[in-house]
Structure 1
């Protein structure tokens, strides 16, 4: 417990780590604020301006001519069975057409901004874990720490627990605050949200917190293995970008199942269905051939778990056996 308190203190004393945590908080607040601003209710002034634009367009001779032409022969515009009412419904502009504003919908936000904030926070927590571990190697303090606690696995494990706990707590606070802000605003605007949608958001947030916490742990473990922050970031970039490019050219049926990004999104979204050009359609299948594949939540979790477990094991074993400068 004492060693854990020391590591927590060391974690919070790293300026780069604190800066990354503040960046995560600011960007999360920015996403929430942008979402709330873009979905704000229409003011009386904005509505009046939109109505004025409608009147201006309807007063134009060209528009009146087109509208009258449609009313004279609506079937020529909208097909058999159409009447003049269809012309008014489809051609006459409404104030909403000039108001580039959508209503706050938590279900839609869960599919868009909600996923974006999880990816953002998780990526920053990976950087946090990487920076936390890399600082010990960059400053040469690791050897001094082992003088006070020679049991290497205990040192490695305590640091890993610190990265996991702090990244998890920070992610939980940020993601929770994001959705609380949106939920309270929706309630204040009189926008009802169904229970299934709220349940979906809760589970997605929980998976996002787990992804961020384990991402921070993975970043820490990989940096303890490579002993260099830049090396870790370079390897992660090569794996993410190079892996996607390699999968695109491999003659492997269903290669998208091994895509890092698809598996991450499968975990966040409780499974996804994606187009995979590597799926071969045989002539006998004709129209029945479906080149889309399903990557389930379990598939995504298994993929990420294997990567994490392998990284943790190799990192811990080599930290115990290798010389520490």
Structure 2
């Protein structure tokens, strides 16, 4: 067996045996499952008994308003009295079916809608959990001092760094792809059973899930490269938290466009493009919104390619710095 393949297998075993990684992987399954169950329950259509009760309640509500209107027609802007007032009230007050439609509204399970709702939530959770898996995987080696022992068996640091990177990234990609595919497959089956699954919806949702898996894998790689650079899980998490909070505040304070907000670009990666508010777009030369005279669309678009180049540049710089640092710095 090739020496590098053996090194990869060793790193895979080390990755799978990390207690923290095991807990994070379990969370990668449990949290999306919980979100999926809640989504299915919240979009449950009413039963026949619920519909019958709703129709009775709607009829009672309409009759109550009709009686009040007949007794107090002026409160409804009706000047007639007697039978004329009753007829005017009956014409003005919606019928029972309209009451039922108004009070019997419920969310329908549609995959296109869920992509921007529960789908983004699941993708975000996976990205965070797998980023933590990437940083704890290698952070444990630095905390325990086992990196120096590993280099005794494989002194070529390039191989050690790339093997760890491949395992952290590949493991995250596999887990995220399986979880996202299973998530949309289950929702697709439920939507199909409720006759709310349109043509192409399931494939579109799968594609969103696979993009999310790529984002999760990149997040795991980011956690890995920063931990290899700073040699501390705590430092990596602290820097990422500080950057996510302070970075957004700094962009807003300086007046830099939302185009450069990492959160906006992450959403563009997951949703295959997104929009953001831009003052530059709010001009008389902008595109006027149909049906609204004098109102102009103040949104601009971040494409998947734009977001990939922007966020990928940070990952590339961090990766190069981490790789060079590991190859040149002393290992305790």
The interval holding the TM-score normalised by the smaller chain is 0.7 to 0.9
Alignment partner, residue 207 of structure 1: 211
| In 1, Cα distance between equivalents of 2:7 and 2:183 | 33
Paired residues, what number? 311
Q: CA deviation at 1:230?
A: 1.1
Alignment partner, residue 324 of structure 2: 317
**Equivalent position SS for 1:323:** coil
Is 1:48 equivalent to 2:52 in the alignment? yes
1:88 equivalent among 94, 107, 126: 94
Alignment partner, residue 265 of structure 2: 263
Alignment partner, residue 301 of structure 2: 294
Asked whether the equivalents of residues 71 and 87 of structure 1 are also in contact (C-alpha less than 8 Å), the reply is: no
Q: CA deviation at 1:202?
A: 2.7
1:219 equivalent among 212, 219, 223: 223
Asked whether the equivalents of residues 72 and 84 of structure 1 are also in contact (C-alpha less than 8 Å), the reply is: no
Render the CA deviation track for 1:156-189: whole Å, top value 9, x for unaligned.
1000000011000000111001000001111222
**Equivalent position SS for 1:190:** coil
Alignment partner, residue 291 of structure 2: none
Alignment partner, residue 78 of structure 1: none
Asked whether the equivalents of residues 50 and 96 of structure 1 are also in contact (C-alpha less than 8 Å), the reply is: no
Q: CA deviation at 1:226?
A: 0.9
Q: Structure 1 residues 249, 147: CA separation in 2 closer, same or farther (over 3 Å shift)?
A: same
5 Å-filtered alignment, 1:185-196, equals 185-195=190-200
Render the CA deviation track for 1:38-77: whole Å, top value 9, x for unaligned.
11121233223323322332342x554348956958xxxx
| In 2, Cα distance between equivalents of 1:96 and 1:152 | 67
| In 1, Cα distance between equivalents of 2:282 and 2:113 | 34
5 Å-filtered alignment, 1:68-147, equals 69=73, 72=78, 87-88=93-94, 94-99=99-104, 101-147=106-152
Asked whether the equivalents of residues 281 and 297 of structure 2 are also in contact (C-alpha less than 8 Å), the reply is: no
| In 1, Cα distance between equivalents of 2:91 and 2:207 | 46
1:178 equivalent among 179, 183, 196: 183
Is 1:167 equivalent to 2:166 in the alignment? no
1:148 equivalent among 153, 164, 169: 153
CA RMSD of aligned residues (A): 2.7
Q: Structure 1 residues 236, 66: CA separation in 2 closer, same or farther (over 3 Å shift)?
A: farther
Render the CA deviation track for 1:224-249: whole Å, top value 9, x for unaligned.
11111111111111111111101101
What are the ranges of 5 or more consecutive residues in structure 1 without an aligned counterpart?
A: 74-82
Render the CA deviation track for 1:172-221: whole Å, top value 9, x for unaligned.
111001000001111222333122x3342232122111101111111111
Asked whether the equivalents of residues 8 and 163 of structure 2 are also in contact (C-alpha less than 8 Å), the reply is: yes
Alignment partner, residue 18 of structure 1: 22
Alignment partner, residue 77 of structure 1: none
TM-score by length of structure 1 reads 0.87
| In 2, Cα distance between equivalents of 1:223 and 1:11 | 15
Render the CA deviation track for 1:130-169: whole Å, top value 9, x for unaligned.
1111111111111111111111110010000000110000
Q: CA deviation at 1:122?
A: 1.1
| In 2, Cα distance between equivalents of 1:324 and 1:66 | 85
Asked whether the equivalents of residues 3 and 158 of structure 1 are also in contact (C-alpha less than 8 Å), the reply is: yes
Q: Which moved more, 1:97-106 or 1:155-164?
A: 97-106
What are the ranges of 5 or more consecutive residues in structure 2 without an aligned counterpart?
A: 80-88, 289-293
**Equivalent position SS for 2:94:** helix
